[in-house]
Chain A
Amino acid sequence: MLGFTLTEFLLFGKQLGIALAGAAALWGFVFSLKDFHCGKETKCVIYDWIAVRILPLFLVGFGIGVISYVGLISTIKVAAHEGIAYAPTVPEIAASFPVLTLLFALLGAITLLALSLPSKGNNAYANWITSFYGLAFVLCFFITAFPAWRGVLDGQQLFYAGHGFHSIFTVGSVLVLDYLFILSKRAKLLQQHVFSLFPTISAVVWFGLAFDFASALLIMDGFEPTIKLLFMQTVIGVLIINGVLLSGPLARRMIASVAPGGEGLSSRFKLAASIAGTISITSWMTITFIDSFEHLTFSYTEFLGGYVALIAIIFAGHQFLEWMEERTAPPAFVHE
């Protein structure tokens, strides 16, 4: 219907789920690692608290990824594929299953271990979770970098890898960034620690998109002038320009606002930042989603209408989550 197929939905679910889990593991690792460099200061507790709070996001991504992968194994043998020039074929996708199953099993085993350990609030758990996140990130990286196997390590196989793993650094990291932004609404102290990492996360997102662009150089003659391509190029233009404004002037102003003696943000500025954040998430989600489907039958206007409608829906949901978080009690160390 409308060009959607079950197999493509499952491939999208696997890609987005593991990208989210991989990004959560990456930034959980970064936050939990920061406490090794700060002695016994109070902020160590804050970094550990943030690192542990990223775990639910990892579990959501892992859950979506596993369910999609299991569905994929069950259905792909009967799936029909019309053979797009540089999209993986069904046999190539199926050839990756032996390795992917092993990687998913390892990821599942360490996740179960992470969940079964007692006393998730103490220091020993916070130290242990650094190793967990590090290993989980490596496994997620290889899962996303191996969406299909051509049987030979040629340019197209490298394109599959680059076009796959960049999602951890792009859409996954953008989702984690937004989650942290909402989470930090509970207290200014949290905002100071979360906002300070915004430039680093933004740089990683930019590098992630560069990986994807660079990998596309391996298939220079692989583009087709379709409506889908035109729409995706439009969204890429939007996400780059919007991303520059969000990670540049807007982020610098937000960081300055939570610094000691910094001026608060006006409601107009907050609205602009919320709209930019929503456009960023929606754009990354949109290109990841649209990229998963090869035979969509929408016109350019329909694509654009759906995109704008999605921005409005996500903006409303985002405002609600921010409102909820602002009313959630901050962690105990904020008052210590």
Chain B
Amino acid sequence: MNAINLTIFEKILIFAGLLFFGNVIHIATGGDFTILYIAKGVYLFGIVWLLAELLISKS
């Protein structure tokens, strides 16, 4: 079976998705919303990366 090839943007989003799961465990065990903010921040960073990729590919 072929290995799954992911772009950097896709790897960033996978990491953000995993952070959402980490956030659920963190809050369920009495934690605060820090990981949620980090997860959203990582996601938004991924979108900025995607935007940069799109702009570079158009130029």
Residues of A within 8 A of B27 (CB): 225, 229-230, 233
By the criterion CB–CB under 8 Å, are A240 and B54 in contact?
no
Q: What is the total number of residues of chain A having a CB less than 8 Å from a CB of chain B?
A: 26
Shortest distance in angstroms between B5's beta carbon and chain A's nearest beta carbon?
6
A203-B53 Cα distance, complex, nearest whole Å: 11
Binds B, one of A16-24, A116-124, A187-195, A208-216: A208-216
Contact of B10 among A217, A237, A248 (CB under 8 A): A248
Distance, CA A175 to CA B31, complexed state (A): 35
Given A203-B50, A223-B33, A237-B18, also A244-B43 (CB < 8 A): no
Chain A residues with CB under 8 A of B20: 233-234, 236-237, 240
Q: List chain A residues, Cβ under 8 A from B21.
A: 234, 237
CB-defined interface of A195-234 with B at 8 Å, one 1/0 digit per residue? 0000000010011011001101100100101000110011
Q: For A83, what are the chain B residues with a Cβ–Cβ distance below 8 Å?
A: none
A36 to B18, CA, bound (A): 43
**A201 CB to nearest B CB, Å:** 14
B-contacting residues, A236-278, CB 8 Å: 236-238, 240-241, 243-245, 248-249
A234 touches which of B4, B24, B37, B40 (Cβ 8 Å): B24
On whether A213 and B44 interact (CB within 8 A), knowing A234-B24, A248-B6, the answer reads: yes
Task: Tell me the minimal C-beta distance from A62 to chain B in angstroms.
Answer: 30
Given known contacts A207-B47, A223-B36, A245 and B4 CB-to-CB distance under 8 angstroms: yes
Q: How far is the CB of A291 from chain B (nearest CB, A)?
A: 15
Closest to B47 in A: A210
Q: Which residue of A lies closest to B54 (CB)?
A: A203
Other-chain contact of B17, A220, A229, A237 (Cβ < 8 Å): A237
| Contact (Cβ within 8 A) A249 B6 | yes
CB contact between A240 and one of B6, B16, B28 (< 8 Å): that residue: B16
- CB distance A233 to B36 under 8 Å? yes
Are A213 and B40 touching (Cβ within 8 A)? yes
- From known contacts A223-B33, A233-B23, infer whether A209 and B17 are also in contact, taking CB-CB under 8 Å: no
CA distance A210 to B21 in the complex (A): 18
Contact with B18, one of A216, A220, A225, A241 (Cβ below 8 angstroms): A241
Q: Output the least CB separation between A223 and chain B (Å).
A: 5
Q: Please, could you name 30 A-B residue pairs with CB atoms under 8 Å apart, sorted by A?
A: A206-B13, A206-B46, A207-B47, A210-B43, A213-B43, A213-B44, A223-B33, A223-B36, A225-B33, A230-B28, A233-B20, A233-B24, A233-B36, A234-B24, A236-B17, A237-B20, A237-B21, A237-B24, A238-B17, A240-B13, A240-B17, A240-B20, A241-B13, A241-B17, A241-B18, A244-B6, A244-B10, A248-B7, A248-B10, A249-B4
Q: A209-B43, A241-B18, A249-B5 are in contact. List 10 more A-B contacts (CB 8 A).
A: A206-B46, A213-B43, A220-B37, A233-B20, A237-B21, A240-B20, A243-B13, A244-B10, A244-B14, A244-B17
